[in-house]
Structure 1
Amino acid sequence: MKILLLINWKIRYCNNIPENLQPSDYDCPQVPFWFFRYFSNRPEVTVIDISAPTWIEKLENKIRFHIYQTIKILPRLNKFDLIIVHGSNSAMLLCALKRLLHLKTPPIIDVDISSFHQASTSGLIHRLAQFASHSFDYMIYHASSQSSYFHDQFPWLDDISEFIPVGVDSEYWNKKYVRKYSDTGNQYFISVGYRKRDWNTLIKAFNKANVQEELYLVGNPSLKVDNPKIKVLPFLSIDELMKYISYAKASIIPLDNFNYSFGQLTLLQQMAIGTPIIADDVPAIHDYISESNGVVAYEPYNCDDLANRIRFVSMLPLHDLSKLGLNNRKATEELLNEKHMARCFEKICNSFFE
């Protein structure tokens, strides 16, 4: 099976496997790309990322979908058996052209991440998404709550769409980072995020919790806090960041409440290395925290509830804290991993050729 994969991020194209990158961030002829290495019948995958000349990238950032990616592959479309588009913003131009010009293409599977531009219900981009989505042969999404939005705004996709949990490369994270527990260590909480984080509730709740541990905030150096026990750290390399996480008492993930997929890999990577987690039960991660007894959930934007959860975790004995982390690791090893995701994808891919 020859698959054309359009992805909505940049990767490194290389001849040898890089040591410092996980499999979703490089394309090397020595190994199948990303989770496709877990297909029982390994396909031939051609990966096209969103790299483009600078002036085109600036334009794409304004119009919120990728055009250069589609232009590059248009002449080669029919050399493939299947097209998978990871991120609907990479599918818009291709699928709109298919419908407008009656192009003949292989079946197109769209993997929707952001509920078509952050679950919008009006505007030009939304109407373009509705128009283009009629060209989908199948759609996959990673938060089950998205189904209500699709049913309301894209009802023609009801019978050709499916929720599949996104999976983490649990083997990669388990081997690279080892969770550390000790009676004298683990004396701080950590919270990591670059966008769409409810810092306001977290800071208020931590002040109210009045626990002995410190709180490290990573990802927004511009945050201003008065509490000396809250440390705002600069941007960290992934190695530095994961070491901070592996030594923390627990990680707090305060996501904003939106009905599309985000924050899932942040959660899953930390689960994979065995970190106890406090997280708000928002649609983006509800499916994932429900699969583990290692995530202490709180009500979104509820300062009192979060403060109580912080106190609860702060007072846990080492054995119970360790159990939370082990439960999280187990959930990624048994279900929330790339192998399981690959099996689900492969079943759908094969269905087009039965």
Structure 2
Amino acid sequence: MAKSPESEHPIKAYGYAARDTSGVLSPLTFSRRATGDKDVRFKVLYCGICHSDLHFIKNEWGVTTYPITPGHEIVGIVTEVGSKVEKFKVGDKVGVGCIVGSCNSCESCAKDLESYCPKQILTYGYIDHDGTRTYGGYSDHMVADEHFVLRWPENLPLDSGAPLLCAGITTYSPLRHFGLDKPGVKVGVVGLGGLGHAAVKFAKAFGAEVTVFSTTPAKKQEAVEGLKADHFIVSKDQKQMQSAASTLDGIIDTVSASHSIAPLLNALKPDGKLVLVGAPEKSFDLAAFSLITGRKMVAGSATGGLKETQEMLDFAAKHGITADIELIPIDYVNTAMGRMLKSDVKYRFVIDVANSLKAP
């Protein structure tokens, strides 16, 4: 008989979990493994709320096993390290992002691309090496192999830096990989939410000329004046879209709702790249001539590997890049999910875990 979450491991843990497809989160007592030789245990201080959390707790991707404790934008302070840990000590500030394990032997792992390992272990809702499931950062503490723990830069804020562990690396990685990280490159960003605002900040820090595409005209001021984007296009306005035709070297599409990509392809120069980082439920319609006539590319990108994620954090600290956040107590999390579904947040909720999650 399978053990209960509370009895799987020897170390008691406490957090918030969803128990069915309603996605309603409520307190859960569960357990975490004892600290292994290569493990780092840390007290969770802050955890960002990602749109993927909402997909998972409602089983919208069809892979969820309940109960599920989400959260993969996790920042904390080390409380214990294993005997063979080399990179961290008690008292260090650390982060854990989207993955906590991989096979360590495939081609992707050898290239520091653990996020593309076919046996990657996600931070929550997946089966760990020992056969038990993983629980995320909506909880009082975490334990992870030191390879998947990130050193937190001293001058990077903990609360507003936390979303960089997903939203940050998910946009930084494609900008770097697809050559959109050069001064003067013309980059489009579709959507101005948690991912989109991070994409704008990183692209601007690289020296790119940035155009934001949004269905909401009211977001022009926050895009141009707040985030310093160079241009703003209302994607529902055909005249504005036509004015952007053949102007961009690449586009980072962050939208997770269903939408047409044909108009975005028209905005690309020849050899332009449309990179999808959002994950809509429905498939896209793709006209072959939209690609053929400009030798254009439609690509996808997930989060980066651990080496690149550390590089991203260091870059963010150097350039003063953080997420724009609304800090909340954990008992507000269900309200926050509802607001996030309506895009009623600028631009990322972050849970003040240490000051609001109290074990019974």
Q: Please report the TM-score for the alignment, with normalisation by the length of structure 2.
A: 0.28
Identify the structure with bigger relative contact order (alpha carbons < 8 Å, sequence gap 6+): 2
More helix by share: 1
The structure that has the greater radius of gyration is 1
More strand by share: 2
